[in-house]
Amino acid sequence: MTFQVKIAQGLKAVPAAAWDACAFPARTNGDGAEDPHNPFVSHAFLSALEDSGCVGGRSGWAPLHIVVEDEAEKLLGAVPCYLKSHSMGEYVFDHAWADAYTRAGGHYYPKLQVAVPFTPVTGPRLLVPEGPQTEEVRTHLIAGLRAVRDQTNASSIHVTFLEEADMKALVARGFLRRDDQQFHWFNDGYATFDDFLGALASRKRKAIRRERRDALQDGITIEWVTGSDITEAHWDAFFAFYMDTGSRKWGRPYLNRRFFSLIGERMADRILLVMAKRAERHIAGAINFIGDTRLYGRNWGCIEDHPFLHFEVCYYQAIEFAIAKGLDRVEAGAQGEHKLARGYRPVTTTSAHDIADPSLRRAVRAYLDQERLYVSEAAEELASATPFRHREGE
């Protein structure tokens, strides 16, 4: 079979069905099953980012998706890839690398970023269906990334929030591994939220009940909205929340209003809005995306401040939804050690990096060796601080 490696400068050049056939289902491997439908690598989500202008144009995210086809131009594999002129919106921070390289006289930008923009969620990055040609297609995709790096004079390739199967393939071909940490909630077969609370130490259980009670004072009510029930009025309200939080946290939110309308049109059945209402108007909300086995919490915001409302809308309601729908896990986004007290556990996330300049590569490798030790030690310490009751004999 003849393989052809091409560049797609936008998802309009790739049929949605062909892209999604590569993206789903995500692979399973000896490190555990991944979510068979990770919504963020879908054509619907990634094309909404492009069609809304959140990426492309002057955003600093120029789509250069790598695709592999056979001689009949059938899509065999793909990589969501962007040429970056900055390091914003990635959640795996390399600003220090860029600064050091610039001081040494190098040019760190542009760089290639293999990622879902603005989305710190682990998922497949080398989108290749399982089959007899899987490894060969992976090899061509990785070679294509390096060829594009050379053609664009990019300093490096960064593959962020990737699954273990992709990590193994990249490390075997010379990429450097980087570890980081998030906090996820795991469904240990709970039938109700009270079952989950029953697994916690008494003091932590009481604290969560108090937080939930206090969050819903002042006549606040909560609703779940998904599928065709999501209206443009919901998006108007949620966008106001998103802009308020984003403007206070980092100055310029990454997503625009059109993006939310587009995902509402294209993937509403994969979206859960948790909306809080008081005095007949929405005052806070969180957007979640629904996989086959996981719930992914993404953005939240509010226009009124109420004690513990953030925890209720973002964490406790997500847990309740996951239990009700039989989902295995809730991923609540980047960072946040405060999630530990709410029953979320430390989880290691990974990225892979390929640096063209040998001197910078050596420096980055040495840094990552030390960083991995720190992340591992921190994870052990945090795991011992979870609120769960200690079982007899542990």
* Closest listed residue to residue 64, CA positions, set 1, 136, 143, 10: 10
Q: Hey, do 4-180+347-383 and 188-327 end up sharing a CATH topology, with the first three levels equal? A: yes
**Structural domain boundaries in the chain:** 4-180+347-383, 188-327
In sequence order, the β-bridge partners of residue 295 are 290, 330
CB atoms within 10 A of CB 242: 24
Q: Directed axis angle between helix 43-51 and helix 16-23, to 10°?
A: 130
Helix/strand/coil for 135: helix
HSE, side-chain direction, 13 A CA sphere, residue 161 = 23
Helix/strand/coil for 299: strand
DSSP string, 299-323: EEEESS--TTHHHIIIIIHHHHHHH
Can you read off the two tokens belonging to residue 93? 């921070």
pTM as predicted: 0.94
Query: What integer pLDDT is reported at residue 107 of this predicted model?
Result: 97
The fold for domain 188-327 equals Aminopeptidase (3.40.630)
- Maximum Cα–Cα distance across the chain: 67
Angle formed at CA 238 by CA 236 and CA 239, multiple of 5 degrees? 65
Beta strands in 259-340 (DSSP E): 271-278, 281-290, 294-302, 329-334
* Residue 226 CB-density burial (10 A; 0-12 exposed, 13-18 middle, 19+ buried): middle
In sequence order, the β-bridge partners of residue 157 are 112, 354
Distance between CA atoms of residues 81 and 62, nearest Å: 8
Contacts of 46 (CB under 8 A, 6+ apart): 11, 40, 80, 116
Instruction: Compute and round to an integer the Cα radius of gyration of the chain.
Output: 21
Residue 285 sits at φ, ψ, to 5 deg, of: -170, 160
Distance between CA atoms of residues 256 and 94, nearest Å: 25
CA distances from 44 to 14, 38, 79, 219, 232 (A): 12, 12, 15, 37, 18
CA distances from 244 to 47, 249, 261, 317 (A): 25, 9, 18, 21
Could you confirm whether domain 4-180+347-383 is CATH 3.40.630.30?
Answer: yes
Distance between CA atoms of residues 287 and 266, nearest Å: 15
Per-residue tens of pLDDT for the chain, all 394 residues: 899 999 999 999 999 999 999 999 655 444 444 789 999 999 999 999 999 999 999 999 999 999 999 999 999 999 999 999 999 999 999 999 999 999 999 999 999 999 999 999 999 999 999 888 999 999 999 999 999 999 999 999 999 999 999 999 999 999 999 999 999 999 999 999 999 999 999 999 999 999 999 999 999 999 999 999 999 999 999 999 999 886 666 557 899 999 999 999 999 999 999 999 999 999 999 999 999 999 999 999 999 999 999 999 999 999 999 999 999 999 998 878 889 989 999 999 999 999 999 999 999 999 999 999 999 999 889 888 889 986 433 3
CA distances from 115 to 88, 91, 138, 143, 184 (A): 12, 10, 16, 17, 20
